[in-house]
Amino acid sequence: MGSIRLFLVLLLYCTSTLGAEAAYLRLAVPSGEKHPIGKASIYLSHQCDWEPGADLHLQVAGPELGSESEVLIQLRFGGISMMAARMETLCDAVPSLKHVAGTLRQLEAKERKPYCLSHWPSLVAALETKGIHPLAVLEPEMRCLYTNGTTHIETMQGTTIGVRSGSSFQERIQRWGAIPFSSDPNDFSTLLSSHQIDAVEDGFLDLCLSPPWAFARPLRVNDRESLPSLLVVSSRVWDSLDARQQALLGEATRKASLYGDTLIERAQADWLELARKEKQLVEGDW
């Protein structure tokens, strides 16, 4: 009788210790590991690995998976588990988000309030309809207008400005009297050097941290019309995790977003200081 009791106790202990199956998630880093958002993603993977007995492991996959839009498609259909995605990319995939994003931008510009997912249930609901579960918000990047360092622009009227496909800034560029030229960001350098476009409008860090832009000239920077990036997970993957794994991933993502915010603010401050010293920068609202 005693041996049976001992067996049952051991069985219950093993069951409670083993818990759910180990989950292996693929974390995409389309921005590259040198970008602050990429570094925050790597930090996220370490947070999960360091948790003892978590049974939750993140495998990092880099830019070879394709553009951010292409990676988001893979996430929606289960090929990728997690990624950081810009609001513009999400709006392109989920058109109903554009109205929500516009409201977000107006609130941020007017009140300087930090973004918080719990304040925007309509945003979360819209993403969930497309198989995307948002976990955390990253600090918005400043927007920047760049040339190749040789082009001199005195007026926006009639100039051609390269923008990311699906960019929410195309209408604003048209209001300047300029012509938006939608393109893959990988083609910006070629388009500038061949004079097919006069300048590029994009996130500050995307331009500053990429080798082709090392000597680019920042004409104008605006930090009041920016939208954040979101750390998101596939809804399929999220639903497959048990409550403990979800809690761990949620907390690790929160820490990673705070770490990413610090990196973004520091990198932007360094580049702004350099641009001011070289008298290359015009700041303020567009």
Each residue of 90-115: pLDDT tens digit?
888 888 777 666 666 555 544 444 55
- Count of CB atoms within 10 A of residue 15's CB? 9
pLDDT for the residue 82: 92
DSSP assigned state of 242: -
Give the residue from 79, 75, 77 showing the smallest Cα distance to 135.
75
Q: Phi/psi at 155 (nearest 5 deg)?
A: -145, 150
Global pTM reads 0.76
- SS3 of 143, please? strand
pLDDT for the residue 69: 85
DSSP assigned state of 79: S
- For helices 97-111 and 121-128, give the axis angle rounded to 10 degrees: 150
Element (H, E) at 66: none
**Measured distance CA(101)–CA(4) in Å, rounded:** 62
pLDDT for the residue 193: 80
Q: What's the residue count for the chain?
A: 286
Give the residue from 69, 102, 73 showing the smallest Cα distance to 86.
69
pLDDT for the residue 83: 92
pLDDT for the residue 178: 87
**Measured distance CA(148)–CA(161) in Å, rounded:** 12
CB 81 within 8 A of CB 233: yes
**Measured distance CA(157)–CA(174) in Å, rounded:** 9
**Measured distance CA(54)–CA(212) in Å, rounded:** 41
pLDDT for the residue 70: 87
**Measured distance CA(158)–CA(165) in Å, rounded:** 20
Token pair belonging to 136: 């955390």
Q: Phi/psi at 46 (nearest 5 deg)?
A: -70, -35
In sign, the C-alpha dihedral spanning 105, 111, 114, 116 is negative
pLDDT for the residue 15: 36
Burial class of residue 106, CB neighbours in 10 A (0-12, 13-18, 19+): exposed
Paired with 147 in beta bridges are 217
- List, for the chain, all residue ranges whose pLDDT scores fall below the cut of 70: 1-20, 49-54, 99-116, 148-154, 166-168, 207-225, 278-286
Q: Rounded to the nearest 5 degrees, what angle is found at the Cα of 188, between the Cα atoms of 60 and 184?
A: 55
Give per-residue burial for 244-258: e unless 16+ CB within 10 Å, then b.
ebbebbeebbbebbe
